[in-house]
Every structure is written in C-alpha cells, then in structure tokens.
Amino acid sequence: MKIRTLRLLAKEGTKNVYKNKLMSFASLATILATLFVLGLVLLIIVNVTTNLEAKKQDLQVKFYLRVDATRLEEEEVALFIEQSRASGVVAEYQYESREQAYENAKKDLKYEALMEGLTPENFAVGYFVTLTNPNDSDQFIARLKLFSGVDSQWITYPKQELERISGMVRVFNYVALFVIAVLMVISILLISNTIRLTVFARRKEIEIMKYVGANDWFIRFPFIIEGMLIGLLGALLSHLLTSQAYGWIKDGLNTLFNSIKISGLQLVEFGELSIRILVVNVLFGVTIGIIGSFMSVKKHLNV
C-alpha cells in the first residue's frame, strides 16, 4: 500500500471519530472505565507488594557476643560487620554496648531487685543487623558462627516470618496476574462489542466498498486508525482520572491509618509510578482499540 494511500486512510479514520460522535463516545467510555479499573488494580498491586517487601527489609539478625569475649574478639566482629556493610551485604546496623544493654535491662525489668548486684560487665555486646537482601540471612549467620567471640546461642532471625512474607508476595503476584488477565479479556470483549455497533451502523458503506473492488485492508485500515485514536484518548483521560482518584484514596487512607494509629504502612506516591502507569494505559488502550476494530470489521468483509 502506497504512503499516499495510507495518509488518505489515516485521515479518513480520524474524521470518522468525529463523524460518528455517539458511537465514538460509547467506545471511549468503555475504554476509559476499563483502563481506570486497570490503573487502580495496578496501584493496589504495587502498594501491597511494596509494603510486604518493606516488611522483609525490617527483619533483623540479632546476635550477642560472649560476656567474656576479649577486646580482640570484639574488634574482629566489628571489622566483619563494617566490611559487610562496605560490600553491600549489610544495609545498616545498630551497636549495643554493655552499658546500653545494662540500661535497657533496667528499663525492661519490672522488679528492680532482679538487677541487684549486676553491673554493665555482666552484660554482652549486641548487634542488630539489617541485611540488604533478607534471603542472605542463612549465609550471613553461618559466617557469624565462625567467630569465637560470638555466642551462637544468641543469634536470632525471624526466618519463619521471612518465609511467610515471601509466600504472601508470591501468592499475591499470581492473583494479580490472574486479575489483570481477566480484565484484559473482559475489556477486549466489551470494546469489541461497542466498536461492532459502530461498524454495524456503517455496514452498507463497507459492502459498497467491497462491491467496487476495495481490498480488505483498504476497508479495515480507517477503522483500525479510529480504534487506535479512541484507545489513545481513553488512555490519556483514564490516566488523569486515575491520578485524581488515587490522590483522594491515598489521603483518605492516610487519615484512617493515623486515626487508628497504624504505623509502618506507606502508600506509594503517584508521581513515582506516573510514567509507568501512563505507558501501560497507552499500550493497553491502543492495543485493545486495534484488536476490537479488527475483530469487528472482519465479519462484514465477507460479502
């Protein structure tokens, strides 16, 4: 097909959007509603996954040195922790001296009589380590146990909680993929049916073009351009609507979390995801516009 012909057909498809205002509006409303729901689903997926991953990052390896550890043994462990942070294995850590451990014990114990006779020298040095990758915990703990100054009985890490959170992330991802797939199928069917009404209203026009010798792609191309434009416009409007709706939802949930004193939950800012959501909307809108137009015209080409 010549470039001049393509330009002519593209121009015709663009005009058809305006000429068939009622059907174009119906198709646009269908795409807008579908992409709006899709955008909110994607934002829910991102927020849940982000908060679950944040919970994994909050898990710490807690360990203590032996009470009778020598200065050299303490320095060996301190050097290992610093090297691990420099290499990226450790994200951050907190050091608890004997004096701090002693003061913390005094605060935590309800009965002061239990602290009688105890001094900071009776307490051990402790570390609270946050790993960059929580899945490296087994390897990190195994290396800790090689140090003579570390009391291996006092190395703790919530491994079961890590596995539970990882399992939740996997299950949620599977559910999210299923929901998105269902939304895609439903949206294509809805948009195809809506565009089919547009094509049905112009079936005589298609039949006349076939009778005068126009090939299938010559007839189909303006409808595809029409579907692309409606899909693109629906994607842009959906993006604006999603950003506004998400802002209201985010403010409302933050107010709710503060009122019932839930801490640790963080909703992702829309600006961080704006470009990605826009790209998904545009790709999805244009694709289903093309597929819907293609499927709808095909039936009327068999004259």
Pick 28 or 145 by higher pLDDT. 145
In the listed set 157, 180, 200, which residue is the last one of a domain according to the structure? 157
% of the chain residues with pLDDT over 90? 15
Which range marks the domain in which residue 68 is found?
60-157
Q: What rounded mean pLDDT belongs to the chain?
A: 79
Mean pLDDT of 121-144: 89
Same domain, 167 and 87: no
Categorize the per-residue pLDDT at 90 as very low, low, confident or very high, splitting at 50, 70 and 90.
very high
Same domain, 148 and 188: no
Angstrom CA distances, 192 to 29, 33, 199, 284, 290, stand at 13, 14, 10, 14, 9
In the listed set 157, 182, 208, which residue is the last one of a domain according to the structure? 157
Mean pLDDT of 53-75: 86
Q: How much is the pLDDT for 34?
A: 82
Same domain, 185 and 248: yes
Mean pLDDT of 129-144: 89
Given a cut of 60, whether residue 60 has pLDDT beyond it is yes
Same domain, 286 and 226: yes
Same domain, 143 and 220: no
Q: How much is the pLDDT for 249?
A: 83
DSSP-assigned states of every residue in 263-289: -S--PPPHHHHHHHHHHHHHHHHHHHH
Q: What is the pTM of this model?
A: 0.66
Q: What's the pLDDT tens digit per position in 244-273?
A: 888 888 877 777 766 765 555 677 788 888
88 φ/ψ sector (left φ>0, alpha ψ -120 to 50, else beta): left
Extended beta strands in 69-187, E state: 90-96, 126-131
Categorize the per-residue pLDDT at 85 as very low, low, confident or very high, splitting at 50, 70 and 90.
very high
Same domain, 152 and 251: no
Buried b (16+ CB within 10 A) or exposed e, 278-292: bebbbebbbebbbbb
Mean pLDDT of 226-231: 80
Same domain, 78 and 103: yes
Token pair of 186 as six digits: 């439903």
261 φ/ψ sector (left φ>0, alpha ψ -120 to 50, else beta): left
Same domain, 232 and 289: yes
Q: How much is the pLDDT for 254?
A: 73
Given a cut of 60, whether residue 117 has pLDDT beyond it is yes
Angstrom CA distances, 105 to 19, 63, 115, 116, 156, stand at 79, 16, 8, 12, 18
Number of separate domains in the chain: 2
Point out the least confidently predicted range of 77-91, 162-176, 288-302.
Answer: 288-302
Same domain, 107 and 167: no
Q: How much is the pLDDT for 301?
A: 60
In the listed set 115, 131, 157, which residue is the last one of a domain according to the structure? 157
Categorize the per-residue pLDDT at 136 as very low, low, confident or very high, splitting at 50, 70 and 90.
confident
